[in-house]
Amino acid sequence: MEKYLILNTLDYPILSLTMIIPVLGALVCMFMKNETALKVWGLIVTLITLAVSIPLYTAFDATTPLYQFVENRPWFPAINLNYVVGVDGISVLLVLLTTFVMPLCILCSWRYIKTRMREFIFVTLLMETAMIGVFVSLNTVLFYIFWEGMLVPMYLIIAVWGGPRKDYASIKFFLYTFTGSIFLLVAIIALYITTGTFFIPELMDHTYPFMFQLWIFLAFALSFAIKMPMYPFHTWLPAAHVEAPTAGSVILASILLKMGGYGFLRFCLPIAPAATMACVPWMIGLSIVSIIFGGYLALGQSDMKKLIAYSSVGHMGFVTLGIFLLNPEGIKGAILQMINHGVTTGALFVCVGLIYERTHSREISDNSALGMMMPLFVTFFGIFSLSSFGFPGTNSFVSEILVLVGAFREMPVVGFLAIIGAILAAAYMLRLLQKVVWNTSDGHAHHGDDHGHGDGHGGGHHVLADLNLREIGTLAFLTFFVFWIGFYPKPLLGMMDVSVNHLIQQVNAGMACAPTAALDHFAMIKGIGAKIAGM
């Protein structure tokens, strides 16, 4: 077992600590009554978790594909079950994303959540533990426990603090995700019966017969595709996003969706490499459909949250596309795209939440012409919108160009199809931005002084207050990451470099046992691409 692991180089169990702090915080908050104190407590706990997780970044050894900061304790020896957690270059960034986003979730709920504050903080903190747990588990049982553990808190966040159609949305979310996890469980048990271990690195090293791999792949892929969400399993997402409170949307968009992508990288590719190869054309096809269909639907939305939700479908399409290109650029682009989507789309949901607190509407038409009244807000909103459609110099551009380079290297046709998604992204984000900043519907001129204090608002609402210090802080924090990753993604890419290459080696090594017929059409498509590219 030890050959896959580097035991913790720090002198304290850092991963367990990041998981346990939110739980302890949640327990303490059960005994608190004052709402402000609860909010402050939630913020403190999430900030402490963030602080504790920082060594994951600073002490991470980017030169090895092995698992790091590992804790390995016997748990249930009878069935060879250990409590084992650790991170590698693929998961470490997602853990950091989680600890980084959670304080922002508390901050953006400051005024939004008006009832049952204690329960809200409680559930949110439990959510954090479960999410970190999913990314650090090196054991399928542990993984499954955390995976299921997220379901109830998230259901509650939507069902208790959600909008008018919260019942419909929360149940739809629950059923979709739960259906997926049943298949996940089946696959986990099947793997245990075949190999006698729950330890993920060992599962990766096993060679399975092709048909077995195919079934395992399909079971995992269904579960992860629902979570991503990938077309045609995406319909729960817009409903959940629209009804969820701001914090719920941010958690959903920034972290929960990433678990699908993470699952593909951690389970599907290394455990079932031959099946992955055989399914590549299908997965890439679905990714392209997600990219184009998501973008196309986003173009037609009048509800801001729905628009951003559909844009997520498109962005996640880029993630799966990158993953199944199976080359270093594609996979690195996909992981970076997950981080970027977490930052940018999370920020956009925070922005929408801020407007909603002021105008009590998410309709674009009710929130137009804010440019004159809320210049600061509009500046931030503009930055995140540009980032969302991959403006050069922002974070999404880097991941988008990486995935595109990966695509053009393997199959140029796919690259050109993905470009359609990029065009649509620019179209719907600019449409949204134009309507929010300017008012294009009435066409009358706003003749005010230079900083026009709300003399011409077509939306018919009163003078709106610009951002306060807490809101500026939240958004400025996210803006920093937009530009940092946009101009200097080297540290992040460096962290995942070795692990990604190792993953690709695993896939290539595992291909050997695939029946040639299954690989034929993959090779054919790839061959055509190579011929066109002349490489």
Partner 1 sequence: MDTITTCKLLIAPLIPLITSLLIMATGKKPNLRETCIIAGALTTFATVISLFPHVMHGGTYDYNLVTIIPGISVKFHLDGLGLIFSGVASTLWIFAAFYCIGYMRGLDEHAQTRFYVCYAVSVGAGIGAAFAGSLFTLYLFYEIISIMTYPLVMHHQDAEGYAGGRKYIIYLMFTSKAFLLPAMAITYVMCGTLDFATTGVLNGIFPATANPLLVTITYLCFFFGFAKAGVMPFHNWLPDAMVAPTPVSALLHAVVVVKVGVFSVCRIMLSLYGVKLLQDTGLGLFTAYFVSFTILCASVIALTKTNLKARLAYSTVSQLSYIILGVAMLTPNSITGGLIHIANHAFSKITLFFAAGAIFVATGKKDISELGGLGYRMPFTMIAFGLASLSMIGIPPVAGFVTKWYLALGAMDIHNTILLTVLIASSLLNAGYFVPVFLTAFFGDPPPGDTATGSLEKQPLILFMVVPLFITALISVMLGVFPDFLINITKLMGGA
From the list 167-175, 192-200, 354-362, 432-440, the region that binds partner 1 by CB under 8 A is 432-440
Least distance from partner 1 to the Cβ atom of residue 447, Å: 5
Give the residue with the Cβ less far from partner 1, 199 or 324. Answer: 324
d(CA 95, CA 118): 25
Select 440 or 468, whichever has its Cβ closest to partner 1: 440
Under rule CB under 8 A, residue 528 binds partner 1: no
Instruction: Tell me the closest approach of the beta carbon of residue 426 to partner 1, in angstroms.
Output: 5
6 binds partner 1 per the rule CB under 8 A: no
Q: 454 φ, ψ to 5°?
A: 65, 40
294 near partner 1, judged by CB under 8 A: no
CB of 228 to partner 1, least distance (A): 23
Where does residue 490 rank: exposed (0-12), middle (13-18), buried (19+ CB within 10 A)? exposed
Residue 179 or 434: which CB sits closer to partner 1?
434
Among 32, 289, 419, 519, binds partner 1 (CB under 8 A): 419
User: Considering only residues 50, 489, 496, 510, which one is a binding residue for partner 1 as defined by CB under 8 A?
Assistant: 489
- Contact between 413 and partner 1 by CB under 8 A: the answer reads no
Q: What is the CA radius of gyration of the chain?
A: 23
Contacts within 8 Å (CB) and 24+ apart, 410-414 = 410/325, 410/326, 410/327, 410/330, 410/526, 410/529, 410/530, 411/284, 411/525, 411/526, 411/528, 411/529, 412/529, 412/532, 412/533, 413/528, 413/529, 413/532, 414/284, 414/288, 414/321, 414/325, 414/529
Q: How far is the CB of 332 from partner 1 (least distance, A)?
A: 9
Q: Could you tell me the two tokens for 457?
A: 């608002």
Q: Does 430 bind partner 1 (CB under 8 A)?
A: yes
**Inter-CA distances, 344 with 364, 395, 484, Å:** 19, 8, 13
Q: In this complex, which beta carbon is closest to partner 1, that of residue 104 or of residue 504?
A: 504
Give 413-435 as a 3 state SS string: HHHHHHHHHHHHHHHHHHHHHHH
Contact between 534 and partner 1 per CB under 8 A: yes
Check if the beta carbon of residue 407 is closer than 8 Å to that of residue 325: yes
- Minimum CB–partner distance for residue 530 and partner 1 (Å): 11
Q: Which stretch binds partner 1 (CB under 8 A): 1-9, 59-67, 412-420, 515-523?
A: 412-420
106 counts as binding partner 1 under rule CB under 8 A? no
Q: Count how many Cα atoms sit within 13 Å of the Cα of residue 357 in the half-sphere of its side chain.
A: 20
What distance in Å separates the CA atoms of residue 92 and residue 53, rounded to the nearest whole number? Answer: 10
Subset of 377-396 contacting partner 1 (CB under 8 A): 386, 391-393
Options 116, 446, 502, 526; binder of partner 1; rule CB under 8 A: 446
Task: Name which of 2 and 450 has its Cβ closer to partner 1.
Answer: 450
Minimum CB distance to partner 1, residue 363 (Å): 20
The answer to whether 51 and 103 are in contact (CB under 8 A) is no
Cβ-contact 363, 395 below 8 angstroms: no
Give the binding range for partner 1 (CB under 8 A) out of 1-9, 89-97, 214-222, 441-449.
441-449
3-state secondary structure of 74: strand
Each residue 328-367 as x (binds partner 1 by CB under 8 A) or -, in order, gives ----------------------------------------
Contacts of 530 (CB under 8 A, 6+ apart): 410
Helix ranges (DSSP H) in 326-371 = 328-359
Give whole-number Cα distances, 195 to 80, 210, 506, in Å.
Answer: 11, 15, 18
**Binding of partner 1 by 408 (CB under 8 A):** yes
Query: Which of 402, 464, 475, 482 is close enough to bind partner 1 by CB under 8 A?
Result: 402
Q: Which is nearer to partner 1, 149 or 452 (CB)?
A: 452
CB atoms within 10 A of CB 455: 12
Position among 423, 463, 523, 524 found at the interface with partner 1 (CB under 8 A): 423
Beta bridge partners of 72: 84
Query: Least distance to partner 1 from the beta carbon of 209, Å?
Result: 36
**Shortest separation between residue 454's beta carbon and partner 1, angstroms:** 14
Q: Residue from 480, 488, 509, 520 that binds partner 1 (CB under 8 A)?
A: 488
Query: 304, 385 in Cβ contact below 8 A?
Result: no
* Position 445 contacts partner 1 (CB under 8 A): yes
Only one of the segments 59-67, 257-265, 350-358, 411-419 lies at the binding site for partner 1 (rule: CB under 8 A); that segment is 411-419
Nearer to partner 1, 16 or 399 (CB): 399
β-pair type (5-7, 67-76): parallel
Q: Which residue's CB is nearer to partner 1, number 267 or number 384?
A: 384
CA 392 to each of CA 71, 206, 210, 334, 427: distance values in angstroms, whole numbers, following the listed order: 41, 43, 43, 17, 16
Residue 364: count of CB within 10 angstroms of its CB: 19
Question: Contact positions toward partner 1, by CB under 8 A?
Answer: 386, 391-393, 398, 400-402, 404-405, 407-409, 412, 415-416, 419, 422-423, 426-427, 430, 434, 438, 440, 443-452, 487-490, 493, 532-535
